[in-house]
């Protein structure tokens, strides 16, 4: 009896299973809820350099931004004049007359939207200013720094 007990103790010490050990198993699910989202980077200012009464349309520069969305999530862009609370979906283009220099411009986006791929995707705001506008400026050169309507809104719909 002592030899049997000693054999069981030695077997247990070395991790050797004895004949009366048992086990069982079960399966379980892992449930995941993914909340899709998009983020919009800071938008660089749209810039125009315009000469009063110039003979050609002036295109804007800058206006770059990036969008990062969940893989496969579709999104669209909309524009809204001013900075009031966004009213989705927004418009494809907006027309604004700057109230400091009295020049009218049209803004749009380089694309109507896209589909998320998990990485930052680059876009631009586009702008045009029609030819033959005189504007308002009492000195050699003016900016619209004092304009109260120079801020506009880009809406990201997803």
Q: What's the pLDDT tens digit per position in 87-124? A: 999 999 999 999 999 999 999 999 999 999 999 999 99
Q: Is 28 exposed, middle or buried (0-12, 13-18, 19+ CB in 10 A)?
A: exposed
At residue 38, φ and ψ (nearest 5 deg) are -135, 155
Inform me whether the pLDDT recorded for 149 exceeds 50: yes
Inform me whether the pLDDT recorded for 41 exceeds 80: yes
Reported confidence tier of residue 154, pLDDT bands at 50, 70, 90: very high
Instruction: Give the Cα separation of 45 and 150 in Å (integer).
Output: 10
**CATH class of the structural domain 37-157:** mainly beta
pLDDT tens digit sequence for 48-86: 999 999 999 999 999 999 999 999 999 999 999 999 999
């Amino acid at each position: 009896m002592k030899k049997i007990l000693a054999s069981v103790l030695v077997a247990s010490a070395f991790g050797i299973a004895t004949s009366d050990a048992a086990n069982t198993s079960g399966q379980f699910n892992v449930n995941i809820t993914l909340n899709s989202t998009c983020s919009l980077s800071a938008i660089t200012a749209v810039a125009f350099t315009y000469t009063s009464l110039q003979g050609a349309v002036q295109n804007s520069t800058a206006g770059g931004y990036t969008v990062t969305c969940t893989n496969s999530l579709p999104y669209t862009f909309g524009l809204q004049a001013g900075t009031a609370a966004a009213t989705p979906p927004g418009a494809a283009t907006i027309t604004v007359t700057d109230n400091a220099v009295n020049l009218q411009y049209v803004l749009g986006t380089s694309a109507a939207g896209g589909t998320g791929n998990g990485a930052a995707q680059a876009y631009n705001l586009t702008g045009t200013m029609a030819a033959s506008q005189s504007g308002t400026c009492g000195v050699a050169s003016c900016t619209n720094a004092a304009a109260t309507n120079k801020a506009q809104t880009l809406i990201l719909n997803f």
